[in-house]
Chain A
Amino acid sequence: MEVYLDNAATTPVFPEVKEIMGKVMEEDFGNPSSRHTKGIVAEQYIKEAAEIIAERLKCQPKEIIFTSGGTESNNMALIGTALANQRAGKHIITTRIEHASVHEPLAYLEEMGYEVTYLPVDSTGRVSAESVKQALREDTVLVSVIFVNNEIGSAAPIAKIGEMLHREKTDLFFHVDAIQAFGKYKIVPKRLGIDLMSVSGHKIHGAKGTGFLYVRDGVKIRPILFGGGQQRGMRSGTENVPGIAGLGVAVKKIYQDHTEKTETLYQLKKRLIEGLQQYEGVTVHGIDGVSLEETAPHIVSVGFASVKSEVMLHALAQEGVFVSSGSACSSNHPELSGTLQAIGVQEDLLDATLRFSFSVLTTKEQISHAVEAVGKVLPVLRRFTRR
Chain B
Amino acid sequence: MYQAFLLKYAEIGIKGKNRYKFENALCSQVRRHLDKLEGRFVVTREQGRIFVEAEGDFDFEDAIEAMSRVFGVSSISPVQVIEDKSWENLTKEVGDFIEKQYKEEKFTFKVKSRRSDKHYPYTSPEICVEMGAYLLERFPHLSVDVHHPEVYIWVEVREKAYVYAKVYPAACGMPLGTNGKAMLLLSGGIDSPVAGYMIAKRGVFIDAVYFHAPPYTSDRAKQKVVDLAKLISRYTGAIRLHIINFTDIQMYIYEQCPHEELTIIMRRYMMRIAETIAKETDCLGLITGESIGQVASQTMHSLAATNDVCTLPVYRPLIGFDKQDIVGIAEKIGTYETSILPFEDCCTIFVAKHPVTKPEIPVIRRSEERLAERIEEFVQAALSTAEVVEVDG
A6 within 8 A of B: no
Q: Which of A311, A330, A331, A386 contacts B215 (CB 8 A)?
A: A311
Contact A329 B254 (CB under 8 A): no
Distance of B321 from chain A, by nearest CB (Å): 24
Residue pair B218, A314 in contact (C-beta under 8 Å): yes
B320 at the interface (CB under 8 A from A): no
Question: In terms of DSSP, what is the predominant structure of the interface of chain B?
Answer: helix
- Chain B residues with Cβ below 8 Å from A331 are 345-346, 348-349
Whether A384 contacts B350 by the Cβ 8 Å rule is: yes
Indicate if the CB atoms of A384 and B215 lie closer than 8 Å: no
Q: Mark A368-384, 1 if CB is under 8 A from B, else 0.
A: 00000000010001001
Q: Are A315 and B349 in contact (CB under 8 A)?
A: no
Instruction: Say yes or no: B254 contacts A311, CB within 8 Å.
Output: no
Would you list which residues of chain B between 215 and 269 have a CB under 8 Å from chain A? Answer: 215-219, 251, 254-255, 259
Which residues of B in the span 343-369 have a Cβ within 8 Å of any Cβ on A? Answer: 343, 345-346, 348-350, 352
Within 8 A of B (CB), among A326-365: 329-332
Q: Could you tell me the distance between the alpha carbons of A330 and B345 in the complex, rounded to whole angstroms?
A: 6
Q: B349 to A330, Cβ gap below 8 A?
A: no
Q: Smallest CB–CB gap between A336 and chain B, Å? A: 15
Specify the chain A residue showing the minimal Cβ separation from B254.
Answer: A384
Interface flags, A299-314, vs B, CB<8A=1, else 0 = 0000000001011111
Closest to A333 in B: B342
8 Å CB contacts to B: which residues of A158-204?
A: none
Structural contact, A332 and B215, CB atoms closer than 8 A: no
Cβ of A385 under 8 Å from chain B: yes
Binary B-proximity of A144-167 (CB < 8 A = 1, otherwise 0) = 000000000000000000000000
B345 nearest in chain A by CB position: A331
**Residues of B with C-beta under 8 A to A377:** 215
- B345 and A314 contacting across the interface, CB-CB below 8 Å: no
Q: Which chain A positions have C-beta within 8 A of B259?
A: 387
A332–B342 Cα gap in the complex (Å)? 10
Closest Cβ of chain B to A313, distance in Å, is 8
Do A384 and B251 touch (CB < 8 A)? yes
Is B214 in contact with chain A by the CB < 8 A criterion?
Answer: yes
CB distance from A327 to the nearest CB of B (A): 12
C-alpha spacing A385/B346, complex, angstroms = 12
Q: Are B216 and A314 in contact (CB under 8 A)?
A: yes
A44 at the interface (CB under 8 A from B): no
Judge whether A230 is part of the interface by a CB distance below 8 angstroms. Answer: no
Docked complex Cα distance between A110 and B238 (Å): 52
Q: Are A386 and B345 in contact (CB under 8 A)?
A: no
B215: chain A residues at CB < 8 Å are 311-318, 377, 381
For B345, list chain A residues within 8 Å (CB): 329-332
Contact (Cβ within 8 A) A318 B218: no
A305 to chain B, nearest CB (A): 15
Residues of B within 8 A of A315 (CB): 214-215
Cα A308 to Cα B349 in complex, Å, equals 9
Tell me if A's interface is mostly helix, strand, loop or mixed: helix
Kindly identify, within residues 166 to 217 of chain B, every residue whose CB is under 8 Å from any CB belonging to chain A. Answer: 214-217
Among B214, B342, B350, contact of A314 (Cβ-Cβ < 8 Å) = B214
Are B251 and A308 in touch, CB under 8 angstroms?
Answer: no
Chain A residues, Cβ within 8 Å of B255: 384
List residues of chain A with CB within 8 A of the CB of B346: 308, 310-311, 314, 329, 331
CB distance from B245 to the nearest CB of A (A): 11
Contact B342 A310, beta carbon cutoff 8 Å: no
- Contact present for B350 and A386 (CB under 8 Å): yes
Measured CA separation A318–B247 after assembly (Å): 13
Residues of A within 8 A of B350 (CB): 384, 386
| Contact A311:B342 (CB < 8 A) given known A329-B218, A387-B259 | no
Measured CB to CB, the nearest residue on chain A to B214 is A314
CB proximity of B290 to chain A, nearest CB, Å: 22
Interfacial residues of chain A within 115-162, with CB under 8 A of chain B in the complex: none
CB-contact partner of A311 in B216, B251, B352, under 8 A: B216
* Shortest beta-carbon distance from B67 to chain A in Å: 40
Task: List A contacts of B218 (CB < 8 A).
Answer: 310, 314, 329
Mask for B310-353, Cβ within 8 A of A = 1, else 0?
00000000000000000000000000000000110110111010
Rounded to whole angstroms, the CA-CA distance of A384 and B249 in the bound complex is 13
Chain A residues with Cβ under 8 A from B349's Cβ? 308, 311, 331, 385-386
* Distance, CA A387 to CA B218, complexed state (A): 22
- Once the chains are docked, how many angstroms separate the CA of A308 from the CA of B218? 13
Interchain residue pairs A-B with the least CB separation, the first 5? A314-B215, A315-B215, A331-B345, A386-B349, A331-B348
Query: What are some 19 contacts across the A-B interface (CB < 8 A)?
Result: A311-B215, A312-B215, A313-B215, A314-B214, A314-B216, A314-B218, A315-B214, A318-B214, A329-B218, A329-B342, A329-B345, A331-B345, A331-B348, A381-B215, A384-B251, A384-B255, A386-B350, A387-B259, A387-B352
Give A residues with C-beta under 8 Å from B: 308, 310-318, 329-332, 377, 381, 384-387
Given A318-B214, A330-B342, A386-B349, 4 more pairs with CB closer than 8 A: A329-B218, A329-B342, A329-B346, A384-B254
